[in-house]
A and B are shown apart, each in its own frame.
Chain A
Amino acid sequence: MAQGDFPLLVERSAPGRIGAAVPQSDVPEVPLEQILPPAQLRGGPPPLPEVSEPDLVRHYTQLSHRNYAVDIGFYPLGSCTMKYNPKINEDAARLPGFARLHPYAPDALAQGALRLLSELETMLAEISGMDGMTFQPAAGAHGELTALLMIRAYFADRGEARTRVIVPDSAHGTNPASASMCGYGVVQVRSDARGNIDADALRQVADERAAALMLTNPNTLGLFEERITEVEEIMHGCGAQIYLDGANFNAVLGITRPGDQGFDVMHMNLHKTFSTPHGGGGPGAGPVAVKSHLLPYLPVPVVVREGERFRLDYDRPQSIGKIRSFYGNFGVLVRAYTYIRTYGPLLRQIAEAAVLNANYLLALLRPAFDLPYDRHCMHEFVLAGTRQKREHGVTTRDMAKRLLDYGYHAPTIYFPLIVEEAMMIEPTETESRETIEAFARGLLAIAEECRTNPDVVRSAPHTTVVSRLDEVTAARRPDLHWPIADY
Chain B
Amino acid sequence: MAFPGPTFHEFVLRCPLPPEEINRRLLDAEILGGLPLGRFYRELADGWLVCVTESRTRQDIDRLAAALEEMV
Binding site for B on A (CB under 8 A): 22, 25-27, 35-37, 40, 102, 104-106, 108-109, 314
What's the dominant secondary structure at chain B's contact region? mixed
CA distance in complex: A105, B61 (Å): 19
Q: A105 to chain B: which residues have CB within 8 Å?
A: 32
Task: Report how far A26 CA is from B6 CA in the complex, Å.
Answer: 22
For B59, the chain A residues whose CB sits under 8 A away are: 26
A40 touches B6 (CB 8 A): yes
Q: Is the CB of B58 within 8 A of A26?
A: yes
Assess the A106–B6 pair: CB atoms within 8 A.
Answer: no
C-alpha spacing A109/B23, complex, angstroms: 12
- B58 contact from A27, A109, A314, Cβ within 8 A: A27
Residues of chain B whose beta carbon lies under 8 Å from any beta carbon of chain A: 6, 23, 27, 32, 35, 39, 54, 57-59, 61
Cα A476 to Cα B26 in complex, Å, equals: 51
Cross-chain contact B6 with A27 (CB below 8 angstroms): no
- Check if B35 sits within 8 Å of A104, measured CB to CB: yes
**Contact A106–B58 (Cβ < 8 Å):** no
CA gap between A37 and B54 in the complex, in Å: 22
A-B contacts, 22 of them at CB < 8 A, read: A22-B54, A25-B54, A25-B58, A26-B57, A26-B58, A26-B59, A27-B58, A27-B61, A35-B6, A36-B6, A37-B6, A40-B6, A102-B32, A104-B35, A105-B32, A106-B23, A106-B27, A106-B32, A108-B27, A109-B27, A109-B32, A314-B39
CA distance A27 to B58 in the complex (A): 5
A36 to B5, CA, bound (A): 9
Within the complex, the shortest CB–CB distance from A100 to chain B, in Å, comes to 12
Q: How far is the CB of A68 from chain B (nearest CB, A)?
A: 38
Q: What residues of chain B lie closer than 8 Å to A40, measured between beta carbons?
A: 6
CB closest residue in chain B, given A22: B54
Residue of A nearest to B35 (CB): A104
**In the complex, A35 Cα to B6 Cα: how many Å?**
7
Q: How far is the CA of A106 from the CA of B32 in the complex (A)?
A: 8
The chain A residue with its CB closest to the CB of B20 is: A106
CA A134 – CA B39 in complex, angstroms?
Answer: 20
- With A25-B54, A37-B6, A314-B39 already in contact, 12 other A-B pairs whose C-beta atoms are closer than 8 Å: A26-B57, A26-B59, A27-B58, A36-B6, A40-B6, A102-B32, A104-B35, A106-B23, A106-B32, A108-B27, A109-B27, A109-B32
